[in-house]
Structure 1
């Protein structure tokens, strides 16, 4: 159940989320102690944020290079306009693809994907170019990750 949030979220919600972003395994009791709030309050807030869809899952952040996924590629895809949604759904099913974005500009879809090596990337590009409705792709390989953050820090930006 996703719902409206902006006016429904307060500074305590933001501080709870900030702590969960830093360590999703942190106990609610520990968070409550840090914030000087009863554990039951933190528990109810987290339950509510999950129900609203603000917190979608609790997860681990992996070092993909240590798992052998050394290549990160940014892939721009041009699609026959009437079939963008269909193509996006299909591209989303590939294990290598970690993000699919519907974008404006010369291209229609942007992908972020991870590969073990350049051969795997090359085979992936060849595969998607055979898909119906894909006109062309442009691929950039990431040399160095300067910043990679999955979530923004929300507490400093919280406006009440």
Structure 2
């Protein structure tokens, strides 16, 4: 199967989606817990997890998901400008986070009020998302962009720093990092 942009995606069915939702929403990576969440027999869960890994949808033992293989290959980054009012960042932010398909909402300083990120499967959902943003009364305007190529998408920011930098900046101790590395 391929997406709107011609990229290969996995051929999923409802059981696959149930398993992926259990992994994503509950953070479960144990086939036993996935069975408990979904009611899908354990043997089927094992088989499906193997199939999802072979298809590249699940990438490792933590079951990180490859959004392109999953079919959520369009990353939409939207800037949102809203009417300034007391507590508007909370009110508008809550409305934005409630929109189906929105993955991240950031209230920002500067010219833009919010940055909203969504991963969607097709252009119709892009149009739907933008319409949902603009249907919020407090929103003045939006500007959306498609990501053409993702060069880096590290889900765990700790991986973006050297060990020594983390120790120096996140701890109160004056540890000798070289001594710790030897132990």
Relative contact order (C-alpha < 8 Å, sep 6+): which is higher?
1
Q: Distance in 2 between matches of 1:135 and 1:112?
A: 18
Match of 1:133 in 2: 138
1:75 aligns with 2:78: yes
Q: Give the 3-state SS of the residue equivalent to 1:66 in structure 2.
A: helix
1:105 aligns with 2:110: yes
RMSD in angstroms over aligned alpha carbons? 1.9
| Segments of 4+ moved more than 2 angstroms | 152-156
Q: Distance in 2 between matches of 1:62 and 1:156?
A: 29
Q: Deviations 1:67-122 (Å, cap 9, x if unpaired)?
A: 11110011000011222211101111223111111111211000111111112101
Aligned 1:1-160 pairs, distance under 5 A: 60-82=63-85, 83-150=88-155, 151-153=157-159, 154=161, 155-157=163-165, 158-159=167-168, 160=173
Q: Deviations 1:34-53 (Å, cap 9, x if unpaired)?
A: xxxxxxxxxxxxxxxxxxxx
TM-score normalised by length of structure 1: 0.59
Q: Which moved more, 1:129-138 or 1:144-153?
A: 144-153
Q: Give the 3-state SS of the residue equivalent to 2:77 in structure 1.
A: strand
Asked if the contact 2:99–2:129 (Cα under 8 Å) also holds between the matched residues in 1, the reply is no
Gaps of 5+ in 2: 1-27, 30-61, 174-183
Q: Distance in 1 between matches of 2:158 and 2:117?
A: 18
Q: Distance in 2 between matches of 1:94 and 1:61?
A: 23
Q: Give the 3-state SS of the residue equivalent to 2:126 in structure 1.
A: helix
Gaps of 5+ in 1: 1-23, 26-58
Q: Which moved more, 1:102-111 or 1:148-157?
A: 148-157
Q: Give the 3-state SS of the residue equivalent to 1:125 in structure 2.
A: helix
Q: Deviations 1:24-43 (Å, cap 9, x if unpaired)?
A: 97xxxxxxxxxxxxxxxxxx
Aligned residues: 104
